Structure 1
Amino acid sequence: MTDARPAEHANELSKIDKTRFCVAFFVFSFAWMLALRIVAAVLLPQRLADIAPDSKDAIFGVLNSATALASLISNLVVGNMSDRTRSIFGRRTPWIASGGIVAGISLFLIGILPDGVSIGISYCISMVGLNMMIAPVIASLSDRIPEDMRGTMSAFISAGTLFGSALGQIVGAQFITLQLPGFIASGVAMGLSGVLAVVFWPKEKSSKDMPKEKVDFKGIIMSFRPPTKGARDFWLAFIGRSLLLFSYYMILNYQLYILQDYIGQSVEDSAATISTMSLVLMVVSLISALSAGPISDKIGRRKIPVVAASVLLAIGYALPWLMHNALGMILFSAIGGFGYGMYGSVDQALNVDVLPNEEEAGKDLGILNIATTLGQMVGPIVTSAIVVATGSYGLVFPTAIVMVALACIFILMIKKVK
């Protein structure tokens, strides 16, 4: 078993520390997501369309799957290793600061590498660096944040992520015909995300004097074992999160291609539509994320926002399917984005609440974050398979609706949270 965590938080945080945590979580989430969406949502798919127009869908699906697998492994490993890290800077801080540098450099390199293989390798390295930051940051919710403030902190994480996602698409669209400056901007933003996080939040206590485990091969292998005792709710949360993100990334990662190949827009028109969608998403997601989390803390409920979010996401998925035009995609951003903001605002708080053993928070949250990776990995694979098999995006939307409905059912089955 991992050593007992340090007593990082008391029953209440001071107002200054609470503010610093809110700012740190928001800035971190905003910066890394801004960087990633500049590339993933616009510049990378457009670059693939430029260099391999006849196989762009298949290549993009493979790249998304490869990077998701890299994320899956690195998130689990880093979460575990950060639990065991002993340094004067604490358990989480060294990983967060260094991860940003790795992710930033490799994300920039995607813009200058010449072929799909080298682009894929650099993209995977970037995901490793990104998860060197994300896994410890999320684990800090358990280490350092009192239970009755986790919804609020989760809301700031969600708001930063959604705001960064929306703005990233806007910025990316501006560089769709002149891509290198966009890749430079994304690399810089990614590199700064980890540094700014540890600058803004209260200094983490040293873990240097914490008891150390005896390190042997068997102990290392056993430390990665998934939780089993009292873990029913943990696994329900895992399945629910996987299915919900599965549904969302089926559409999110293919917005540009949906606009160009399903709606029938040109490159320039699709870039303009993505900018409009992103502005809408920026407004609605900030409103929903920053309101639902604190409300969840106040009423002591996590499931109500999840049910509302699932309904809104299903409606958002249905609109492009039924309307088959750019307005349908814009309404997807408005209604689906509001729902996803609601879900995101309580997502991490719910994950921390269902942990079977908070002493192994980094490792177990790493396992839960595999759900994110599975969603990012399986969603694009299914979308790519549907498009290849049918020649259309028409079946993507009803499939996403079924997935989000199943996700809601699994989360409602959780007993530990209300």
Structure 2
Amino acid sequence: MLQRLDSANKISLVALFSTSAMVLCAIANMVAGYLSDRTHSRFGARTPWIVGGATVFALGMILASFSTSVIWLFITWMVTAVALQFIVAPMVAWIDFAEEKHQGTASSAYGGVGMAFGNNGFAVIGALFLGRLKLGFIIFGLICFVGSLLAAILVREPSNIGQELPKTKTKKEHFKLKDLFPGWSTGGNYYLTLLVKMFLGIGNFLISGYLLYIMEDFFHKGTGAASSSIQLINMIMFVFALVLGLVAGPLSDKFKLVKWPVALSSIFVGLGALSIILLRSEFSLILYAILAGFGMGLWNSLDNRLNLMVLPDKNRVAFFLGVYNLANSLPQAIAPIFAAILIPISGYPAVFLGAFIFAALGGILILFVKDVK
């Protein structure tokens, strides 16, 4: 859409849109989680915000589809970015409704199967609308609305009217930052898992976010061949993510293991990055898709379960899970900075090595999380 509206400045405009959305999302995510934790209604604490956010998101996408100027697209895009946080932050807290012994399965369904379809499956569907942008905007806005409404109906969140609210400071008491974010002694495990998610996300996005350029500039493929390779990689990763989304959670619940499978996922993502450096062939792309697909599929299936286990305050589930979910989007802003630094040093091999290092750091840090197997 930006290319149609202002082709000459599309690169800088994408950066502007991404950075602005990132700032708004960081704020909106915490606000959405905070408000959700303090909401009382016959439909529960989460459902009103999820359905409301999905309604605003769909309307924002429809309005964005009629953009005739960059300013109008910017305004509507920021609205949809904020609305999305009011879906994501409360929705991830639904995982806490599952019984303790089944929370791995719930996490696997949400992050594993859901992310498999969202990240890889719908990327293939989205490509079908490249020549019909207006229709694509509208359809995906409606898919989000219908999907969220269907999820609310299936979950049937119980009424929480009369339930006690999380304790807050009185007017006479001074607000302190630790009231919002607890100190390391209480929240150390939570902060470690947050860093792990950030590092693994950066390691993954350093490659996945630049696949087109890697195909064209590193493997010297034409546009058609590059597109075919990207589709193949996404399909392989989709299959692995879907399978792991179906089996990783139940197996985690059965064997009571969460931390070690997450550490294993970091190893596979790192090895996937190394395979491209060492082999530098068409086969290395397939191997990367298999290894990274397995690693990210395993991670997406269990990371929300892990975070539930290390929450510093069970009365603020949506808030802390919302902050945790920011680590899904922040790497997409941080990775391009590292790419801009690394590529001039030694080209794309430096990016692959950087991806390996970040994934390895995530795998090492997760081992320091206490009281979790």
Q: Is TM > 0.5 for Structure 1 vs Structure 2?
A: yes
Range 334-343 or range 121-130, more displaced = 121-130
Q: Counterpart of 1:400?
A: 355
1:258 aligns with 2:214: yes
Offset at residue 337 of structure 1 (A): 1.1
- Provide, for residues 123-175 of structure 1, a one-character-per-residue CA deviation record: whole Å limited to 9, x for no partner: 33222111111111112222x12221111111111211112221211112223
Task: Describe the SS at the equivalent of 1:230.
Answer: helix
Q: 1:391, 1:118 → 2: CA distance?
A: 40
Q: 1:330, 1:120 → 2: CA distance?
A: 37
Q: Counterpart of 2:103?
A: 150
Q: Counterpart of 1:127?
A: 81
Q: Counterpart of 2:316?
A: 360
1:198 aligns with 2:159: no
Q: 2:72, 2:253 → 1: CA distance?
A: 45
> Is this contact kept in 2: 1:74–1:128, CA < 8 A?
yes
Task: Describe the SS at the equivalent of 2:43.
Answer: coil
Task: Describe the SS at the equivalent of 1:364.
Answer: helix
Residue identity in the other structure for 1:411 = I
Residue identity in the other structure for 1:314 = G
Q: How many residues align?
A: 369
Offset at residue 393 of structure 1 (A): 3.5
Counterpart selection for 1:269 from 225, 229, 240: 225
Once the two structures are superposed, the pairs formed by residues 301-316 of structure 1 within 5 Å of their partners are 301-316=257-272
Once the two structures are superposed, the pairs formed by residues 330-345 of structure 1 within 5 Å of their partners are 330-345=286-301
Range 247-256 or range 223-232, more displaced = 223-232
Residue identity in the other structure for 1:350 = L
Q: Counterpart of 2:368?
A: 413
Residue identity in the other structure for 1:417 = V
Q: 1:101, 1:64 → 2: CA distance?
A: 22
> Is this contact kept in 1: 2:37–2:318, CA < 8 A?
yes
Q: 2:176, 2:334 → 1: CA distance?
A: 27
Task: Describe the SS at the equivalent of 2:135.
Answer: helix
1:89 aligns with 2:46: no
Q: 1:295, 1:329 → 2: CA distance?
A: 29
Residue identity in the other structure for 1:362 = A
Counterpart selection for 2:244 from 270, 288, 297: 288
Q: 1:104, 1:82 → 2: CA distance?
A: 20
Structure 2 stretches lacking a partner, 5+ long: none
- Provide, for residues 346-385 of structure 1, a one-character-per-residue CA deviation record: whole Å limited to 9, x for no partner: 1000000001221121222222223333323212333345
Offset at residue 250 of structure 1 (A): 2.3
Residue identity in the other structure for 1:148 = K
Q: 1:75, 1:220 → 2: CA distance?
A: 24
- Provide, for residues 94-138 of structure 1, a one-character-per-residue CA deviation record: whole Å limited to 9, x for no partner: 011111122233345444434555434433322211111111111
Offset at residue 84 of structure 1 (A): 0.4
The Cα RMSD (Å) is 2.9
> TM-score of the superposition, structure 1-length normalised?
0.79
- Provide, for residues 189-220 of structure 1, a one-character-per-residue CA deviation record: whole Å limited to 9, x for no partner: 2222211110111x222122224578988889
> Is this contact kept in 2: 1:259–1:326, CA < 8 A?
no
Q: 2:40, 2:303 → 1: CA distance?
A: 29
Pair 269,394 (structure 1): closer, same or farther in 2 beyond 3 Å = same
Counterpart selection for 2:335 from 352, 374, 379: 379
